[in-house]
Structure 1
Amino acid sequence: MEPIEPKILKIEDNEDFRALFTPELLKLRNLFAKRDYELRIAGGAVRDLLMNIRPADVDFASTATPTQMKTMFEEENIRMLHKRGEEHGTITCRIDEKENFEITTLRVDIVCDGRRAQVEYTTNWQLDANRRDLTINSLFLDLHGNVVDYFDGIRDIETRRIAFVGDARQRIQEDYLRILRYFRFFGRIANSSEHEPDTIQAIIENRDGMAGISAERIWTELKKIVVGRMADEVMKAMIERCGLQKYLGLPEECNLDRFHQVYSRHPKTVEPMTMIACLCEEEEQIAEFHRITKLSNDERLLGEFILHERNSAIENLGNDDWWIDRIVDLEVRPGHENHQNRLRQRLIQLARSILADEQRIQMIEAFEAPKFPVTGRDLMGAGVRKGPHVRNILYYLYEIWKKSRFTMTMDALLEHAQDPDIPDISKKERKRSPPRGKK
């Protein structure tokens, strides 16, 4: 490609930039300079600094190859951490046993299949910038405070414009996940809900390529989008303008109105799966979403719980007894003893998903569930012989205790332990017990 004269912006007086300069970073800079290897901060950290955000993570790029870096660190007795990134040109070192640094060799893509690329190393900063997705992520910052910009990323940060580097269609075809990254960064940075028509058209033309993206990569991006800044506007564009729902495992008809209402009411306290559940109407749609995205057990169970309970929760929004019964059923019913905290959180997410007010949320959070006063040991002490029926009797007594509004004592309940014709509810209860998955 034709050489481009980069724009340079000096930010050496930026407080967040200066705060990065630990003794360990200075030592790293001197090591590379001593061997005439260039070393710069790359990508997201530069973007954040220009937005007056102190970066949480700082990635480095260098003209040194992995082999050259390993030789240098070995000669300087600097420990290297063997992480998976080495096969992609990234070396991680630990300076003075205090700070880790990830340094990646400049690369250029040789062959791309829409999911991964074959690369070769280069010393050309422009070529490395050209292989990045968005202009705002294609910036470099040398360790003297000079931002190096080949593709107008500085201007786009100032105007809050989200644009692909070079030709949008080519960038997308190199890695179709960039469609989701575009929307994630749009929500994070843009100052209006308007998208450039050609960018949207490029996404529509290439959306079928998303079918080949791994489930894990899709969900990693999507879970940030659905609870991120401007989530409702971003999801509306993704679904109504670009028709991406089938590639994300979402139903053809997504409930964007409910999504908008819940996001507007609880933008910082909803979990990603709560927002996914807002888009769905049937429990089976959570199963389909799971098939595409390979949710964790906990995520799947939250989505299923919200869909299963939503209609009843709406009908009983103002009914304290219903919510108290749900808390007690979830946390106190025999078999649920080890799941209390996570199950309470599911109930809170359910309440948020139906636009419960803060008073209702606080009641759910603060309610102290009563303790069921009978254990299996108590039953056997009362003359009940050992066996599977012990748990069945516990379920039976629990229902009696619940009908008393949790007032019956252990002695009063044990009087019912020998009742004739105790129904066999153990199979039903096993279905109601929380699965043994991730808590």
Structure 2
Amino acid sequence: RSNPIVTKLETPAFKSIFTKEINDLVDLFNKYGYEIRIAGGAVRDLLLDKIPKDIDFATTATPIQMKEMFANENIRIINMKGERHGTITPRINDKENFEITTLRIDTATDGRHAEVKFTTDWLMDANRRDLTINSMFLGFDGSVYDYFFGYEDLQKRRVCFVGNADTRIKEDFLRILRYFRFYGRIALKPDGHEESTLKTIKNNATGLQRISGERIWSELKQIIDGNFSYDIVLTILDCDLGKYMGLPEIPNRDEFKFVYENSKKFKDKLYAVSLLSALLYTPEDAVALHERLKFSAYERDLCYFLTQYRKELLEIDDLLEYKKMCMKSYARKEYVEEILKYNGKVELYNELKAWKAPRFEINGYIVKQHGCPKGKATGTVLGKLKDIWAESNFKISSKELLENHLPGILSDLQDGGHKKKLKTEK
């Protein structure tokens, strides 16, 4: 458009961002004759009257010019890692860090990374960004600069790629998932996608193979935690993206719907990995999904636990059974609580959550003192004692377990062919 300034912000949210550090930063750039504006997500948030969590800046100054300027003013630079892509992070007044990136053009892309060339042209920088709603700039006088009608798209709650969608996606295939994440954040209804956009995404589905699992999972997690997650995940599957993200060829849509409906009964949200695990069929599927998405250890074990025990526990409505499971070495209490949410068992979930698991006082040293052989047998004996204790609703004392139940367990072990000689002293 001929005049990129589309509106002027004077909202309380906009005024609230002006800390002393930001004012000092702006004054510094003005003093050296460089332009600096707020870029991307913070502009979008402020136009929606939200106070942004992070503020990124764009400037006409090159990284070398910024380094010289900050050195002259004795301002410490915190992070030099982003310099190749134009990002410098100064610490202003030894209080606040700001990421400031030189305007740039992508000269070469491989679907994951870009080679960049610096520019002083704001339009050229806006043109390389992914979505129109993320391509705006904000001057410190409140002027909103919009070159690609992102302002209008935001008003209409529409998510569009900048320029040609196919070109934008091929520059970085992760933009496919960023599109869905921002759709969940911006859109007012679950099914307002433009058919041409979905078709372009589907045509580029194989490109996700080139994106690391960590980056995919980071986006997917936010999609699942956002608005319209059920509908958006189904749209993602309809675009044939699932198999490139580690999901089965034909994901388990029925289970996914069952779990999503169950999740609405609870005030506490399901973990994103729990909802995702509903698309799987077996624990082996959970292993394959982890290999692709590189879950944290907690997420990996939870996903495996859910796929292994969800069917078995669906039929069980006895609180004691869930308490007993909490005491098993393979189960954390949070995992058992999560499976109750997964299966929609509201009352049992509330009861188990309120229950404080008692401490099992008997340990390996104690059972060895009472005649248990060393080695693997110790774990077996402790497990059996713990089962008896749990079966009594955790009422049997340690004394009773050691005197009345341990001898029988040790006898069974000996009869079972354990060759280690049992101690007889207690």
TM-score, scaled to structure 1? 0.88
Q: Paired residue for 2:280?
A: 280
Q: Paired residue for 2:343?
A: 354
In structure 2, distance between residues paired with 1:205 and 1:400: 58
Cα distance 1:387–1:288, how it changes in 2: closer, same or farther (>3 A)?
Answer: closer
Q: Paired residue for 1:366?
A: 354
Q: Paired residue for 1:394?
A: 382
In structure 1, distance between residues paired with 2:137 and 2:286: 41
Secondary structure of 1:71's match? helix
Q: 1:345 aligns with which of 324, 327, 334?
A: 334
Task: Report matched runs for 1:84-123 at 5 Å.
Answer: 84-123=81-120
- Higher mean Cα deviation, 71-80 or 267-276? 267-276
Shift of 1:388: 5.0
Per-residue CA distance 1:251-291 (angstroms, 9 max, x = gap): 12223343344334436611111011111111111112112
Question: Is the aligned partner of 1:304 residue 2:294?
Answer: no
Cα distance 1:258–1:382, how it changes in 2: closer, same or farther (>3 A)?
Answer: closer
Q: Paired residue for 1:147?
A: 144
Question: Is the aligned partner of 1:47 residue 2:44?
Answer: yes
In structure 1, distance between residues paired with 2:312 and 2:374: 38
Q: Which amino acid aligns with 1:199?
A: T
Asked if the contact 1:114/1:209 (under 8 Å) is kept, the reply is yes
Q: Which amino acid aligns with 1:418?
A: P
Q: Which amino acid aligns with 1:310?
A: R
Shift of 1:94: 0.7
In structure 1, distance between residues paired with 2:297 and 2:372: 37
In structure 2, distance between residues paired with 1:220 and 1:399: 39
Question: Is the aligned partner of 1:417 residue 2:406?
Answer: yes
Q: Paired residue for 2:28?
A: 31
Secondary structure of 2:209's match? helix
Question: Is the aligned partner of 1:61 residue 2:61?
Answer: no
Shift of 1:28: 0.4
Asked if the contact 1:41/1:60 (under 8 Å) is kept, the reply is yes
Q: Which amino acid aligns with 1:272?
A: A
Q: Paired residue for 2:424?
A: none
Q: Paired residue for 1:223?
A: 221
Asked if the contact 1:392/1:425 (under 8 Å) is kept, the reply is no
Q: 2:206 aligns with which of 195, 205, 208?
A: 208
Asked if the contact 2:6/2:151 (under 8 Å) is kept, the reply is no
In structure 1, distance between residues paired with 2:235 and 2:129: 23
Asked if the contact 1:80/1:91 (under 8 Å) is kept, the reply is yes
Asked if the contact 1:141/1:148 (under 8 Å) is kept, the reply is yes
Cα distance 1:86–1:112, how it changes in 2: closer, same or farther (>3 A)?
Answer: same
Shift of 1:395: 2.6
Cα distance 1:206–1:386, how it changes in 2: closer, same or farther (>3 A)?
Answer: closer
In structure 1, distance between residues paired with 2:359 and 2:76: 54
Asked if the contact 1:42/1:141 (under 8 Å) is kept, the reply is yes
Per-residue CA distance 1:131-183 (angstroms, 9 max, x = gap): 00000000000111111000000111110000000011111111111111001
Secondary structure of 2:216's match? helix
Asked if the contact 2:247/2:289 (under 8 Å) is kept, the reply is yes
Cα distance 1:346–1:118, how it changes in 2: closer, same or farther (>3 A)?
Answer: same
In structure 2, distance between residues paired with 1:313 and 1:380: 35
Secondary structure of 1:143's match? coil
Q: Paired residue for 1:327?
A: 326
Asked if the contact 1:181/1:221 (under 8 Å) is kept, the reply is yes
Asked if the contact 1:393/1:422 (under 8 Å) is kept, the reply is no
What count of residue pairs does the alignment treat as equivalent?
Answer: 410
- Higher mean Cα deviation, 253-262 or 70-79? 253-262
Shift of 1:381: 4.2
- Higher mean Cα deviation, 376-385 or 227-236? 376-385
In structure 2, distance between residues paired with 1:386 and 1:209: 54
In structure 1, distance between residues paired with 2:390 and 2:228: 44
Q: Which amino acid aligns with 1:297?
A: A
Cα distance 1:401–1:89, how it changes in 2: closer, same or farther (>3 A)?
Answer: same
Q: Paired residue for 1:408?
A: 396
Q: Which amino acid aligns with 2:320?
A: D
In structure 2, distance between residues paired with 1:273 and 1:208: 23
Per-residue CA distance 1:320-378 (angstroms, 9 max, x = gap): 22212212335xxxxx8xxx8xx122112211111222x22211211122332423333
Shift of 1:217: 1.2
Q: Which amino acid aligns with 1:370?
A: P
Let me know the Cα RMSD of the aligned residues.
2.1
Asked if the contact 1:232/1:256 (under 8 Å) is kept, the reply is no
Q: Which amino acid aligns with 1:253?
A: I
Cα distance 1:403–1:322, how it changes in 2: closer, same or farther (>3 A)?
Answer: closer
Cα distance 1:216–1:425, how it changes in 2: closer, same or farther (>3 A)?
Answer: farther
Asked if the contact 2:262/2:342 (under 8 Å) is kept, the reply is no
Percentage of identical aligned residues: 42
Cα distance 1:32–1:264, how it changes in 2: closer, same or farther (>3 A)?
Answer: farther
Asked if the contact 1:274/1:302 (under 8 Å) is kept, the reply is yes
Shift of 1:385: 6.3
Asked if the contact 1:248/1:292 (under 8 Å) is kept, the reply is yes
Structure 1 runs of 4+ with >4 Å offset: 383-388
